[in-house]
């Protein structure tokens, strides 16, 4: 099965409007149409930037994503952004379940299942993040933890729905720490992920789903990680804030 590569930049809470616009232009200048034919590229920008970015990207193959959405349709949730609003920008994808949302905003697998439903209901794709903490890796419960994150967050979806989801394994201990999971450590979880997807949805669908790796991906380690059989690309934090390193990761 030939899965198209996918590299996504998660800008998190970084860049003013002007800085973000300049960074987007720099990335657009560096990433060629031929890069985009072999690799999907998406920018997960802050909410405030989305409309301007959508206008700027118009006609480009590069895609736009949001970093979060609320789990309810609409209503009295001051300060929140709904999936319906994001679809009206429009954005193509929404990140769901980033570990920083789980850790700092108390998002549970059950809540994330509702967010995934909202994203799909409004015609966008979800990028569902999961991954264990350092404690969970050290006490060897990590396989159980990631299995539970995936099954509770996603396994209520039908076969037609799950194909609109990309998975992103991001071990918490590797995010922003400079400590990358080794290619072998990442491949172990990616292969496990694909095997539980196979059990649930069958061979054809599991072979088609893309599983990204995230956590201190840099130009120097991207090629080794992306060479693993079940790693289909990356979700990039820090290195996505520099057009040159983001380009180098896309080229890997």
How far apart are CB 146 and ligand 13P at their closest, in Å? 16
Nearest to 170 by CA among 228, 140, 130, 126: 130
Q: 211-235: b or e for each residue (b if 16 or more CB lie within 10 Å)?
A: bbbbbbbbbebbeebbebebbbbbb
Binding to ligand 13P by residue 171, rule CB under 6 A? no
User: Looking at residue 233, what DSSP letter applies?
Assistant: E
Catalytic position from the list 100, 107, 132, 170:
170
Q: Which stretch binds ligand 13P (CB under 6 A): 15-23, 187-195, 197-205, 229-237?
A: 229-237
Note whether 45 and 20 are within 8 A (CB). Answer: yes
Q: Is 98 assigned a catalytic role?
A: yes
How far apart are CB 223 and ligand 13P at their closest, in Å? 16
Catalytic position from the list 98, 107, 122, 190:
98
Number of residues that bind ligand 13P (CB under 6 A): 14
Binding to ligand 13P by residue 237, rule CB under 6 A? yes
Binding to ligand 13P by residue 245, rule CB under 6 A? no
Q: Is 170 assigned a catalytic role?
A: yes
What's the CA dihedral at 225, 137, 97, 5 to 10 degrees? 10
Q: Which of 107, 132, 170, 230 binds ligand 13P (CB under 6 A)?
A: 170
Nearer to ligand 13P by Cβ, of 120 and 127: the residue is 127
- Binding characters for ligand 13P, 96-115, by CB under 6 A (x = yes): --x-----------------
Q: Which of 20, 215, 222, 250 binds ligand 13P (CB under 6 A)?
A: 215
Nearest 5°: phi and psi at 94? -135, 135
Per DSSP, the residues of 134-189 read: HHHHHTT-HHHHHHHHHHHHHTTS-HHHHTTEEEEE--GGGSSSS-PPPHHHHHHH
Residues 4-63 contacting ligand 13P, CB under 6 A: 10
Note whether 176 and 216 are within 8 A (CB). Answer: yes
Q: By CB under 6 A, name the binding residues for ligand 13P.
A: 10, 98, 170, 175-176, 214-217, 235-239
Question: Which sequence positions are flagged as catalytic?
Answer: 98, 170
């Amino acid at each position: 099965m030939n899965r198209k590569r996918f590299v996504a930049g998660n800008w998190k809470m970084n860049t003013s409007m002007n800085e973000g616009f300049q960074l987007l232009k720099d990335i657009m200048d560096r990433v060629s149409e031929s890069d985009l034919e072999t690799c999907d590229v998406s920018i997960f920008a802050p909410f405030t930037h989305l409309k301007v970015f959508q206008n700027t990207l118009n006609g480009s193959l590069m895609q736009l994503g949001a970093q979060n959405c609320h789990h309810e349709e609409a209503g009295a949730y001051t300060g929140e952004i709904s999936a319906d609003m994001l679809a009206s920008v429009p954005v193509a994808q929404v990140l769901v379940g980033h570990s920083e949302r789980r850790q700092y905003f108390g998002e549970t697998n059950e809540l994330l299942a509702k967010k995934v439903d909202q994203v799909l209901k409004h015609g966008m794709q979800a990028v569902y993040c999961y991954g264990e903490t350092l404690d969970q890796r050290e006490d060897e419960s990590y396989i159980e933890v990631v299995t539970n994150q995936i099954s509770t967050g996603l396994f209520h979806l039908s076969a037609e729905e799950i194909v609109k989801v990309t998975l992103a394994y991001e071990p918490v201990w590797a995010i922003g720490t400079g400590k990358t999971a080794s290619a072998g450590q990442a491949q172990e979880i990616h292969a496990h992920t694909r095997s539980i997807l196979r059990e649930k949805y069958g061979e054809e669908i599991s072979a088609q789903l893309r599983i990204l790796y995230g956590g201190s991906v840099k130009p120097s380690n991207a090629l080794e990680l992306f060479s693993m059989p079940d790693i289909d690309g990356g979700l990039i934090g820090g290195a996505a804030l520099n057009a040159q390193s983001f380009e180098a990761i896309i080229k890997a």
